[in-house]
Structure 1
């Protein structure tokens, strides 16, 4: 058991990264509008995430390189390499900067549900204090520059988040047979297709593929550690999927429709199930926000360092400059309530393009004996990988079309 806990590593960080405020909000909307009917989309999402993240972790452990470093060294055509690196930097670095304000705002929303909203005014702006406090906590955890400190802080927050959402779901006393039916029997209620795609899209995240390889090489140094990496991945992603399902189950308990995010859900559950439901949900939302507020800048720094050939040491100056830039923008925009829809739209388009490209490149790399030797993909892993590639291609096209209001 001691050895098991010792080898809990990047998995919870990956789970922390995909369960952000956006995922919490989407799961809330899915539960309110469709009850348990879309739980199967989360089951599919968990399987897809496990397949891609296992490949990413295996690449990191065996090659002792991040995915962006491998791409930079293995794609020989300079034009293709520059285009892909430019797309990766745009989607991950600019994208995470755009989404960071949402991560911090989501965490702040959880605290506000419990403690209210302290603000002060300066230069005609109402400055919200909570995003600044959350940003400061994230800054301290990242600036310490010790992987074990970051890992332990996020593992603690993920456990707290998991317990908070699990208790909230239990409080609502769901019908177990209906839940199991929703998890394993695909249903397509009217007007649910975009929500289904959204649930998969918020779980299968491109920057997690980069983050996992970089963290795996930091955590494990030998191919004998692969079994630990796989167990860590499966347990953490399944736990993350269960958290999302618990949010959907909790939201299903609310019969009225005037709920747009988890903060509304916390207040909506209060008259039905008492203060405990409100408090646990608010704690879960806070945990989801602060964990994503830490992992998004961290992922951007790893990606930028790998793409540009910088030192990816947590204490290197260039590495720190990237995450400080992302975190600072997030704190600034969330504390003044600024939302640049154009930047977010650009990030969505870039991510929509990046996800199928990176999934395809990852599968291509995972089949190279020159990189992975005997640890390259098996036939089954390739079949599953190409199935997931088809899903990511579908998601990417949908994301781009929805940004331009085509669907």
Structure 2
């Protein structure tokens, strides 16, 4: 979403309407990766606490995510470079931050993703979390290690389809209150809803993998500004789909929990409580279908991080080797990853880091110090992304016609403020 860069003279096949619709995909990948089971649980709890009142926050969140992902994709296509090459041009502080981030965050996230994927499987078939979590991690490793981007995208699209059908279908089954939904489009803040509102706007669908969007559009074959319209269409379709998905979960929370005054645990384990409620109200078939959707949501996030963040680590290594340019502009134009990046040593080394060391935490639980580091680093990433995109796309590092205009600047500035507030809130909760 931006007010710049429209080129009505572009006549490439990439911009033909039928062709555009047939090749959307990277946006679905980044949106699905960003929405995990924890986000579903948070949305469900928001619905159970405030009904439909915060539906407007879901819509605002879609706008924020569209603006951030569009800016990431615009940087890659306009400059022919990568977001990490841009970050490195801003100074060595970005390198220090990223190294600490991917090491600690990746270690804890690996355990979190495997646990989240294991929960619905253990509920359906019995067994322990390690007994299901380890195979999930190994399956993710194999799919990303041996599969091409095209295969990865097809798997992610299929998982999104399952997620969407299950959750939206569930929202239809519980018979939403349409007048109350329409009232929820008005921006109202009930007492005690500030944290939930910020979470819905900024948290759902917003993770480090938003920065991976540019790498996925490059892997798709979109490598210059002639693909700008296609990228924007792809981005909007993906996040509107995500918005419908999240709104549907809010409906489920409002209808099943808010009206019955039922409270859930505020974590992905709370989704297992919903499974029991669905079984009591609609029977085992609907409850099992929900668990299938729960697994699709969790495993799609696992796959997306395994693939996307590993690409970012690969680019980190590549740009470090090439960091000999004399000016920030030259460094920002360091080029894109080669098509065989997924076969490189850094890529596969980080895949192994995400998969095997975190398995220890499946047996030991997550140590408190790591939880603190994980929460703190995670809170800092989204404001970092918004601020650096404002900086990069507002400078001469980007071609003039693709720099931020007033609309892009306003949306990115709003996102930066929002995520800074969320960051402070997360740090207070973590250390308090």
Instruction: Provide the TM-score with structure 2 as the length reference.
Output: 0.84
Q: Is the 8 A contact 2:202 2:418 kept in 1?
A: no
Indicate yes or no: 2:86 matched with 1:70.
Answer: yes
Structure 1 stretch 235-244 or stretch 369-378: which is displaced more?
Answer: 369-378
In the alignment, what sits opposite 2:290?
281
Correspondence list, 1:325-340, <5 A: 325-334=353-362, 336=363, 338-340=365-367
In the alignment, what sits opposite 1:388?
415
2:306 to 297, 309, 330: 297
1:206-256 deviation per Cα after TM superposition (whole angstroms, max 9, x unaligned): 413321121122221231211111011111111112211211211221324
Deviation at 1:181, TM superposition (A): 2.1
Distance 1:333 1:163 in 2: 33
Root-mean-square deviation over aligned CA pairs: 2.1
Indicate yes or no: 2:103 matched with 1:103.
Answer: no
Distance 1:227 1:303 in 2: 24
Q: Secondary structure at the match of 1:314?
A: helix
Correspondence list, 1:302-317, <5 A: 302-309=311-318, 313-317=341-345
Flag structure 2 segments of 5+ consecutive residues without an equivalent: 1-16, 320-336
Q: 1:41 to 1:276 in 2, by over 3 A?
A: farther
Deviation at 1:270, TM superposition (A): 1.9
Flag structure 1 segments of 5+ consecutive residues without an equivalent: 76-80, 120-126
Q: 1:185 to 1:91 in 2, by over 3 A?
A: farther
Q: 1:91 to 1:181 in 2, by over 3 A?
A: farther
In the alignment, what sits opposite 1:32?
48
Indicate yes or no: 2:138 matched with 1:136.
Answer: yes
Deviation at 1:154, TM superposition (A): 0.6
Correspondence list, 1:5-404, <5 A: 6-72=22-88, 74-75=89-90, 81-115=91-125, 117-119=126-128, 128-182=130-184, 184-203=185-204, 205-219=206-220, 220-252=222-254, 253-254=256-257, 255-260=260-265, 261-309=270-318, 313-334=341-362, 336=363, 338-404=365-431
1:64-95 deviation per Cα after TM superposition (whole angstroms, max 9, x unaligned): 332112211x22xxxxx232222123234422
Distance 1:289 1:258 in 2: 22
Deviation at 1:173, TM superposition (A): 0.7
Q: Is the 8 A contact 2:65 2:239 kept in 1?
A: yes
Deviation at 1:2, TM superposition (A): 6.2
Q: Is the 8 A contact 1:97 1:326 kept in 2?
A: yes
Q: 1:398 to 1:248 in 2, by over 3 A?
A: same
